[in-house]
Amino acid sequence: MKHLPLFFDLAGRKVVVIGEGPKADLRVRLALSAGANVRQFAAGSVTPEDLEGAVAAFVATTDETTDAAARHLAKAAGVPVNVVDRPALCDFIMPAIVDRDGVVVAISTGGASPTLASVLRSRIEAVLPERIGSLARLATTFRAQVNALIGDPARRRAFFRRLVEGPASRLALAGDEAGARRIILGELDAARRQTASAGIAHIVGAGPGDPDLLTLKAAQLLQEADAILHDDLVPPAVLGRARRDAEIVSVGKRKGRPSWSQPDIDVELVRRVRAGQTVVRLKAGDPFVFGRGGEEVDALRAAGLAYTIVPGITAALGCAASTGIPLTHRHHASAVTFVSGHSAVGSRPVAWPALAAHGHTLAIYMGATEAPSVRDRLLEAGADPATPVAVIENGTRADQIVSTGRLADLARLAAAHVRGGGPSLIIVGDVAAYAVAVEPAPLAKVS
């Protein structure tokens, strides 16, 4: 290791910046962000007296001779110095920095490749949660209580590990600091009584099928889950992103097939969270768009259990994008409605006349088997039989199939997709004409 990484407390201390321009200004901002008392001087105006009492100096004049002279002045005053872009002249170097509200990650290549350090910083920024600083503050807040209550070092470490990886951390990262505090207080009480703590449920959208369309948060939670309760429409490629030792449980509901009822799923979800598990309830698309996520949240709330909600790319957005259909278009559609092809008992009836209006895009979920009824209701409501339609099966996936035509032909178009068995979405409206039809790949000939 060429350089020892240190985090230097500059609060209230004098830091000198010699030079002007963007690179010098960046050093001024960095030192100020750390609470330093910053003095900036032009290259030729700094004196030995200006450096008295300084704990660090930055030199950024852009001229090699001037940089060397300024470094000599700082060294004579006994001040550690960093010369921008000249590692051979530096007592210390500046790393690439990721700052998340007090949680700081520094990346250095010892001056060998600032570009590599910058690339690594970008990758870390992409995976580090935005609110990680609030989690650090929670750990600080409860440190004294935990140390006083849990004397055994191993149990104390386990408690803090759960604090930063368990239910409280997920609530804090979701912005619910009050909920996180309640969880920690409950776990402290459980530690005092030496009882098991409850877990947490994450209601997660898996997106339309392409695993690369998972959100970062969804991907992180799949790696943390003890158990994953997934819909039948979640493909194996998405489940393959789960932690290898996670318990994978299919709780899918498919029309005309034996399946879990919603009350059974609610009971199983509550049971597992009460037992202390971190459970991901993984739903195709978005959990709050025809995903019954609201019903499961109701069950968790009624049980007094912690949960978070992670949205996903819903099928209408994913399928439209993968087929080139703009759901709204300045010249063709000023509104879009998501509607279910079949409704739950007791739900409000669909206002088909309003949906049949010109300039309105319909994204119809679970509509392939109901296509004749959907067609008839739209035509009865006044829709033009020549209105473009697209039926998209396995949208965003490698085996995506798209059929295009007119509203009058919707039943015939959808019939092939019912036989295919994959999840299908119907788009009705002038914008559907933008879709590119994709036929199923031909079967390989067997000689």
**pLDDT confidence of 446, banded at 50, 70, 90?**
very low
Residues 202 and 158 in one domain: no
Phi, psi (5° rounding) for residue 265? Answer: -65, -45
Phi, psi (5° rounding) for residue 270? Answer: -65, -40
Query: Which whole number is the average pLDDT over 413-441?
Result: 83
The pLDDT of residue 113 is 86
**pLDDT confidence of 193, banded at 50, 70, 90?**
confident
Q: Say if residues 204 and 310 touch (Cβ distance below 8 Å).
A: yes
Q: In what order do the strands lie in the sheet with 306-310?
A: 247-250, 227-230, 278-283, 200-205, 306-310
Domain boundary among 49, 77, 94: 94
**Residue-by-residue DSSP string for 253-285:** --TTS----HHHHHHHHHHHHHTT-EEEEEESB
The total domain count for the chain is 4
Query: 349 vs 339, 343, 374, 390, CA distance in Å?
Result: 11, 8, 13, 24
The burial of 417, by beta-carbon neighbours within 10 Å (0-12 exposed, 13-18 middle, 19 or more buried), is given as buried
Task: Dig out the tokens for 394 from the structure.
Answer: 């396995």
Residue 136 included in any domain: yes
**pLDDT over threshold 80, residue 100:** yes
Residues 280 and 354 in one domain: no
Residues 160 and 237 in one domain: no
Non-local CB neighbours of 122 within 8 Å, separated by 6+ positions: none
The amino acid present at 436, given as its one-letter code, is: V
Q: Say if residues 312 and 202 touch (Cβ distance below 8 Å).
A: no
Specify which of 1-5, 74-78, 252-256 reaches the highest per-range mean pLDDT: 74-78
Q: Which of 231, 266, 283, 286 is catalytic?
A: 231
**pLDDT over threshold 70, residue 256:** no
**pLDDT over threshold 90, residue 418:** no
More confident residue, 29 or 3: 29
- DSSP tag of 41: E
Residues 329 and 420 in one domain: yes
Query: Which whole number is the average pLDDT over 406-435?
Result: 90
pLDDT in tens, 362-376: 999 988 888 999 999
Which residue do the tokens 């500059």 mark?
10
Residues 78 and 187 in one domain: no
The pLDDT of residue 107 is 93
Residues 303 and 411 in one domain: no
Residues 341 and 397 in one domain: yes
Which residue do the tokens 């109701």 mark?
298
Residues 410 and 389 in one domain: yes
The burial of 69, by beta-carbon neighbours within 10 Å (0-12 exposed, 13-18 middle, 19 or more buried), is given as middle
Q: Parallel, antiparallel, or unpaired for β 103-107 and 200-205?
A: unpaired
Report the alpha-carbon distance of residue 264 to residue 271 in Å, rounded: 11
Report the alpha-carbon distance of residue 428 to residue 439 in Å, rounded: 19
More confident residue, 22 or 258: 22
Report the alpha-carbon distance of residue 65 to residue 61 in Å, rounded: 9
Query: Which whole number is the average pLDDT over 303-324?
Result: 94
The pLDDT of residue 219 is 93
- Judged by average pLDDT, the poorest of 7-21, 220-234, 339-353 is 339-353
The pLDDT of residue 197 is 79
Report the alpha-carbon distance of residue 125 to residue 173 in Å, rounded: 15
Residue 117 included in any domain: no
Residue 118 included in any domain: no
Q: What percent of the chain has pLDDT above 70?
A: 95
Q: Say if residues 339 and 364 touch (Cβ distance below 8 Å).
A: yes
Residues 213 and 289 in one domain: yes
Estimate to the nearest angstrom the gap between the alpha carbon of 224 and the chain centroid. 14
Residue 8 included in any domain: no
**pLDDT confidence of 400, banded at 50, 70, 90?**
very high
Residues 202 and 308 in one domain: yes
More confident residue, 345 or 61: 61
Q: Say if residues 231 and 207 touch (Cβ distance below 8 Å).
A: no
Non-local CB neighbours of 330 within 8 Å, separated by 6+ positions: none
**pLDDT over threshold 60, residue 327:** yes
Query: Which whole number is the average pLDDT over 307-317?
Result: 94
Asked about 253 being catalytic, the answer comes back as yes
Domain boundary among 197, 227, 253: 197
Query: Which whole number is the average pLDDT over 303-319?
Result: 94
**Angle at alpha carbon of residue 143, lines to 138 and 147, rounded to 5°:** 155
**pLDDT over threshold 90, residue 259:** no
Q: Which of 198, 201, 246, 199 is nearest to 222 (CA)?
A: 246
Evaluate the CA torsion angle 410, 412, 413, 415 in order and state its sign.
positive
- Judged by average pLDDT, the poorest of 79-93, 145-159, 169-183, 227-241 is 145-159
Report the alpha-carbon distance of residue 389 to residue 402 in Å, rounded: 10
Residue 391 included in any domain: yes
Residue 46 included in any domain: yes
Residues 322 and 425 in one domain: yes
CATH code assigned at 239: 3.40.1010.10
**pLDDT confidence of 445, banded at 50, 70, 90?**
very low
Non-local CB neighbours of 154 within 8 Å, separated by 6+ positions: none
CATH code assigned at 422: 3.30.950.10
Range of the domain at 146: 129-197
Residue 358 included in any domain: yes
Task: Dig out the tokens for 323 from the structure.
Answer: 């087929």
Q: Which of 216, 150, 231 is nearest to 187 (CA)?
A: 150
Which residue do the tokens 């995903």 mark?
291
Q: Which of 226, 253, 384, 430 is catalytic?
A: 253
CATH code assigned at 84: 3.40.50.720
Q: What mean pLDDT, rounded, does the chain reach?
A: 89
Residue 124 included in any domain: no
Residues 277 and 322 in one domain: no
The pLDDT of residue 185 is 92
Domain boundary among 182, 197, 212: 197
Reduced to 3 states, what is the DSSP secondary structure of residue 366? coil
The pLDDT of residue 439 is 56
Q: Which of 300, 280, 264, 265 is nearest to 204 (CA)?
A: 280
The amino acid present at 395, given as its one-letter code, is: G
